[in-house]
Amino acid sequence: MATSGLAIAAVAVCSGLSCTSQTVKTISLPPLPFPENGLEPLISAKTIAFHYHKHHKGYFENLNKLINGTEFYGMPLEKVILKTYGNDDKFQIFNNASQMWNHTFYWQSLSYNKMTEPSTQLKQKINKSFDSLEGFKKQLFDISTTLFGSGWVWLVSYRNKLEIVKTANADSPMIQGMKPLMTIDLWEHAYYLDYQNRRSDYIHTVIEKLINWEFASKNDENESYGH
Which CATH superfamily includes the segment(s) 120-221? Iron/manganese superoxide dismutase, C-terminal domain (3.55.40.20)
Tally of CA atoms within 13 A in the half-sphere of 53 that contains its CB = 7
CB 134 within 8 A of CB 118: no
**Model pLDDT, residue 222:** 82
Lowest mean pLDDT among 5-14, 79-88, 176-185: 5-14
DSSP 31: P
The pTM for the full model equals 0.86
**Over the stretch 82-97, which tens digit does the pLDDT of each residue have?**
999 999 899 999 999 9
Q: For residue 10, name the pLDDT band (cuts at 50, 70, 90).
A: very low
Question: How far is residue 108 from each of residues 13, 95, 117, 129, measured CA to CA in Å?
Answer: 9, 20, 15, 23
**Model pLDDT, residue 93:** 95
User: What average pLDDT does the structure give for the chain?
Assistant: 86
CB 181 within 8 A of CB 189: no
**Over the stretch 12-30, which tens digit does the pLDDT of each residue have?**
344 333 344 454 455 467 8
- Region 191-210: what's the mean pLDDT? 97
Distance CA 191, CA 201 (A): 10
Domain extent listing, the chain: 120-221
Closest CA to 70 of 88, 83, 57: 83
